[in-house]
Amino acid sequence: MTGKELKIEFRLLMDAPLMDIKSPIQSFRRVSPAYQKRLLKLGIKTFEDLFYYFPYRYDDFSKIIPIANLKINETATIQGEITRIKNIRTWKKRMFVTEAFIQDENGAVRAVWFNQPFLMNSLKEGQWISLSGKVNFDKTLYFSNPAHEKIVANATSHLRHTGRLVPVYPETRGLSSRWLRYIIQLLLPKFLPEFKDHLPFEIKKSQNLIDLKNAIKEIHFPQSANHLRAARRRLAFDELFLIQLFAQRQKIKWKKQYSQKINFDQKLAKDFVDSLPFKLTEAQRRSAWEILQDLEKDQPMNRLLEGDVGSGKTVVAAMAILQAVKAGWQAAFMAPTEILAQQHFKVISKLFQGQQIIIGLLTGSETSINSSSEIKSQKKKELLDKISSGQIHLLIGTHALIQENINFKNLALAIVDEQHRFGVAQRAALQKNILKIKDGQPVSIPHLLSMTATPIPRTLALAACGDLDISLLDEMPKDRQEIVTKIIPPLARQNAYTFIKDQVKKGRQVFVICPRIEIANNHESGTNNTNKETNIREIRDKFVKISDKRSWDDVKTVKEEFEKLDKIIFPDLKIAMLHGKMKPKEKEKIMADFKAGKTDILVSTSVIEVGIDIPNASVMMIEGAERFGLAQLHQFRGRVGRGSHQSYCFLFTTGDKAAGSRLRALTSSKNGFELAEKDLEIRGPGEFFGTRQWGLPDLSMASLTDIVLVKAVREEAEKLVKSDPELKNYPLLTQKIFQKQTLLHLE
């Protein structure tokens, strides 16, 4: 231990009476402001946060062997005396090399550290040290940049960086795992007695879980691999258990609310289904029946309709809307984007032709009304008045539905499409705003139907959707053709262009997706430039010059790609550009022209990810495919294959081998459910769900793949809530759930 470390330990003792586990890090005055700032950057505000900042992996340096027994390429720990140490300056590469020789009873070995000349200040000849790392060979065996720490009086029981399973933490600039190990080991003995175990004894016993104090201690400094497994299981169980308790209690609270019964009109449903130009799948019939049964209850429905791209969720939702409206109630339909809201407005208006249902559209830039199959603009105030008077039967819109001063006369059904696209705060606002209030108390709450085209693997659904009933559309319409999906490496690009041009000659249309709108320093206008008189040589030079270290195969932007395709690759085709920075009216016109067949190729950002239905489009070309997630790529692919023509999805890549497994998973997966499982396997649930959205550490995210653990957690949570719904006998659990409520908001 260095003199600096001893000083900090002394200062800790001086500060100790003033601190408890809930104290802010700033109260530990002897940790410098710079380190306090870095800790805050990692979300570590209190000492408790510090101990719940778990390692994401461990270096196994537990194998301590005599120096004479070292073998090349093995990872090992040796302990011995420094017999010689010096700094060497290499003039060729202009760096310092610190070289030391360490000897034990059996032999000696060399260790080198690069660009760490300061080690000479702490490592001295005659000191005993412990070294851990990989053994290399260059004429003799040696360690390169090994982990190291001094051994005081031959005592190895307090090793933290070597000679054990060594924790490695997520880091930030200026704050290393070595420093975190030091500070956690220093502080843990003082604060460990303050950890109160919130998990009931009977659950720990039935699930064979260790107590919380041991779990915290072992997760940071495990005695062995078995001790680490026990700690991880206990802490993962804790996180999932709190989610499930929260979800189960929310479900009970939701069921205590009152909703209007919407009696099932069998003839109405049959006549509507018979009027459709297609036959419903069995999955659609089953899901619709589950929803309609929920609507007949006076308890509010809280159901997730989960279906692949193109599986027909909108029609199922329309059947529920029809029942509600014809029973004399209003319905609301919220979508994440204006384009998707407009798409639903047009599609549902067409589905309800002849039904005498008045539909309103409300977005940030548009207010319209559909009455007697005629769509016309409407002043916002007039639309709001018609909503409050009950003249609007169905209101479709974006988040404007929860931001505007909207008062429904008798809202009985609320539908949220692509629910994962809304933020936690927006979803909470929707549930709050749809309540009908009288004398300060909720009188009734609308039935709530959430929809998603991002299939959730079974383990995640069990863990994260504890308060939701789930309906699955796991069947595609029988007339849908399989979309041919191919990875296009740089050398095959020209062949793909030739194929695309041939498709357009046959009358088909093409989507081109790019990751970005423009490069950071590009201040060009976002308007379409269709002037074919532009100097072609200048444009070609712009794209083929390597002076700015970029090429066609680098990150593609919509504006660059539009120019390239329009002027160079397909100068004889009609090409348009679409991105999120355009004005709504401009976007609407571009989409209308594309749907009408006036445009051959549409170059766009991910703004067309959901809600675009162009039956004549047969090719989806995705630039920089490795830069998108699998779920998003699958959504893009779902924009084609909606007509009778064979369709194709081309994944243009830069040849990045690291992304190969993900893209191959897309080419071999024909439906979203299969792809979701592969995505979960490749990326892990932290990336699949997004840790920011769910507020879960990596430890808990990893545990979501353990179906046995997830089932055990769910069963224990259901059992506990059933026996004690208010958790009156478990105040510590109630306190823990309250702490988590700001992070957990499940539909």
Total domain count for the chain? 5
Strand order across the 617-622 sheet: 484-488, 648-652, 617-622, 509-513, 601-604, 575-578
188 domain residue, yes or no: no
Same domain, yes or no, for 224 and 347? no
pLDDT reported for residue 705: 64
Closest CA to 563 of 585, 541, 547, 539: 539
Same domain, yes or no, for 603 and 725? no
pLDDT reported for residue 545: 38
Domain with 634, as residue range(s), is: 484-670
Give me the helices (H) in 649-706, please.
Answer: 660-668, 672-683, 685, 691-694, 698-703
- For 355-377, what is each residue's pLDDT tens digit? 999 999 998 777 888 866 667 77
Asked if residue 191 lies in contact with residue 27, where contact means CB atoms within 8 angstroms, the answer is: no
Same domain, yes or no, for 50 and 86? no
Same domain, yes or no, for 20 and 72? no
Same domain, yes or no, for 607 and 652? yes
Instruction: State the distance between the two ends of the chain, measured CA to CA, in whole angstroms.
Output: 51
474 domain residue, yes or no: no
Same domain, yes or no, for 285 and 432? yes
458 domain residue, yes or no: no
**Cβ partners under 8 Å of residue 423, min gap 6:** none
178 domain residue, yes or no: no
Query: Mean pLDDT in each 10-residue stretch from start to end of the chain (747 residues)?
Result: 54 62 84 89 90 91 92 92 90 83 92 91 91 92 92 71 92 91 91 93 95 95 94 90 84 82 96 92 95 94 84 94 96 88 90 92 84 73 91 91 80 81 47 52 78 70 69 78 89 93 95 75 38 38 35 61 92 91 84 92 80 84 86 84 88 73 82 72 54 48 68 89 90 83 45
Asked if residue 492 lies in contact with residue 583, where contact means CB atoms within 8 angstroms, the answer is: no
Same domain, yes or no, for 505 and 595? yes
**Cβ partners under 8 Å of residue 178, min gap 6:** 147, 161
Same domain, yes or no, for 418 and 286? yes
Give the CATH number, domain containing residue 606.
3.40.50.300
384 domain residue, yes or no: yes
Same domain, yes or no, for 489 and 626? yes
648 domain residue, yes or no: yes
Same domain, yes or no, for 640 and 712? no
pLDDT reported for residue 265: 96
**Cβ partners under 8 Å of residue 385, min gap 6:** none
Same domain, yes or no, for 274 and 252? no
Other beta carbons within 10 angstroms of residue 483's beta carbon come to 21
Task: Give CA 378 to chain center in angstroms.
Answer: 38
Give me the helices (H) in 3-92, please.
Answer: 3-15, 33-41, 47-51
190 domain residue, yes or no: no
Same domain, yes or no, for 632 and 509? yes
Closest CA to 452 of 631, 582, 575: 631
